[in-house]
A and B are shown apart, each in its own frame.
Chain A
């Protein structure tokens, strides 16, 4: 297998995954880790009602990027603002501000013209990469259901639009998106049935329908293995006679044994899904594991722990 560009040496990373798997946590942590490694990083959330800001414990994010920690800037995508920027910077259309109902017009064209909303989103990230404002752009991207359409939008536009400025604008975007040394997709999953199934399906669709490289799969919330070799039998014997343990510790130990039994069963079910994942995706794609966090709150502290876990996975 040809040597692939290490994840953080790329310039543009899209982080996707099924809803509820911790996509934003992973995007936030990847960006934080890269910044702590000395890179100049921009992290952006695409979903309007996302909560990326919570993972840095910072105020609401806007289209204009804001520094949230050393080397790290954050922003939230706003397709209308992006279109305005695009029109004025790329197409040199000075009239933009004078066209009154641009919002309404845009809303309509976005509904009518397929791919318009997607391309102004993708275009913004590609532009940041092209202009070299940052070493790395991390996108907390759309869920698995929408990411292919988004990544494929420049190609789709190129096929639909025969002439005009939009067409000429798509080629340089395609060059950036299709270069595995520059762009990569990171898919986040958990070791559960549906997320694993969607991840496998997505890995095939990305290969068949886009020219973007699937750079890594992050397996989030991996439950710890409780018992090593031989220990499970000891636990089973212990669990057969809860009274013996209760007598030894001077209290009802049954709930403790029940909790451990629950932990073992949950871990076992998830191990099965992990095996399914390993078999289902191309063996050349690296899997990065992030442990389940038994924490009270999920703020900056959790983001740091995930960043460290990812850092370890990336350096070993």
Chain B
């Protein structure tokens, strides 16, 4: 195990998220699609490296192109690469206290590595890797992404190279698939059906109990396909013991007290609904919820009542007000009137959205001890400076 570069610690007066990150080794961000999970993970990692020191890795799944560029991830596969300190110093930033590393998840490559590790010999590994079902399993089979993400996280953590790993979870059909994936993978390998499917290519001795299974499977899938499956799983089963052990180890790390979860959401109805489901499920499954991050929130000043009253009266008196202001603005009063109405409408429209958000926030506050609100930035983040700006907002609140 490599010794940390320096002790990671939160500064005096640090926000709760900063304190949390200083005490953990693995942070997993989750939430529904489009809420800014990837960017949040990257910003938290950048801030931790910047302020707390140590070697920090952000493991990301599908970053936006500009974010990937910002992290220097273009053209890199599974290997972690270091984000140069110069990226921090640009635009007047300071020298970071620690190191920021970034890696992208390559599902296919990770599966190949896994097979090579667990296959009893090189020949079996080759047979699996060239089997046409394997290409489907590793590429298309949806839950394989969830499992491999957690597997890769485990591997990186075990390497001892990093003091903190922030991982961004893949978008999933079922929000918690990736948490259940290791145990499901273990179940899969101990399943009776795997033995059934693997059976035909070993021997055709089929018990009376499993005959209906074959009669349906044969008619639906065809015996050739069934024997293809059988051959594949016979090979795959040879990796079984190592695989099950590994999946159980991955599961333990996720439950470890050094691991915590950040649930990210925007303040819209559907993602909030999903965030509530996440939070309750994490709790039920015994995972540690570090914080609930409310991303892209509108500024609180939009909720004030006085400007709303003023906007209403401006709408009514727009004609008169325009006549009075027009000379100084060197514009026609009809034009000024239209502008004034738009200004009043803009406030009232965005106040409505801000109110909608406040209601969602109130509902969520019952679910988590640490609630961190991050403002909407009106520009997209495309460099480290942008990530650190977001990171500062993350660390400041709560």
Contact = CB atoms under 8 A, between A and B. Distances in A.
Contact of B304 (A164, A255, A269): A255
A98 to B, nearest CB: 8
Given A230-B335, A244-B325, A249-B313, A115 B140 contact: yes
Contacts of A111: 141, 143, 188
B398 interface: no
A256 B233 contact: no
A165 B218 CA distance: 9
Nearest to B218: A164
Contacts of A259: 302, 307, 343, 346-347, 350-351
Given A238-B339, A249-B313, A266 B347 contact: no
22 contacts: A49-B277, A99-B216, A108-B193, A114-B137, A156-B140, A164-B222, A166-B220, A167-B222, A193-B66, A230-B331, A234-B329, A244-B328, A249-B317, A251-B307, A252-B306, A253-B314, A256-B307, A256-B344, A259-B347, A259-B351, A260-B342, A263-B350
A300 interface: no
Interface stretch (B89-97, B248-256, B267-275): B267-275
Contact of B325 (A19, A49, A113, A245): A245
A195 B325 CA distance: 42
Interface in B304-355: 304, 306-307, 309-311, 313-314, 317, 321, 324-325, 328-331, 335-336, 338-339, 342-344, 346-347, 349-353, 355
A294 B352 contact: yes
Interface stretch (A4-12, A27-35, A68-76, A139-147): A139-147
Nearest to A257: B343
Contacts of A105: 193, 213, 216-217
Contact of B64 (A193, A228, A238, A295): A193
Interface string A112-149: 11110000000000000000000000000011011001
A194 to B, nearest CB: 5
Contacts of A166: 220-222, 225
Contacts of A250: 313
Contacts of B141: 111, 114
Contacts of A87: 216, 220
B142 interface: yes
B212 interface: yes
A179 interface: no
Nearest to B344: A256
A87 B217 CA distance: 11
A112 B193 contact: yes
Contact of B225 (A164, A234, A252, A257): A164
A228 B337 CA distance: 13
B325 A193 contact: no
Interface string A89-101: 0010101101100
A255 B380 contact: no
B204 interface: no
A235 interface: yes
A47 B173 contact: yes
Interface stretch (B32-40, B43-51, B161-169): B32-40
Contacts of B223: 163-164
Contact of A234 (B171, B310, B336): B336
Contact of B133 (A160, A164, A197, A230): A160
A278 interface: no
B35 to A, nearest CB: 6
Contact of B32 (A20, A167, A260): A20
Contacts of A228: 338
B29 interface: no
A68 B313 CA distance: 42
A143 B302 contact: no
The CB with the most chain B CB atoms within 10 A, among A145, A165, A255, is that of A255
Contacts of A167: 222
Nearest to B188: A111
Nearest to B62: A145
Contact of B347 (A19, A160, A256): A256
A199 B298 CA distance: 26
Interface in A207-236: 226-228, 230-231, 234-235
Contacts of B193: 104-105, 108-109, 112
Contacts of B355: 296
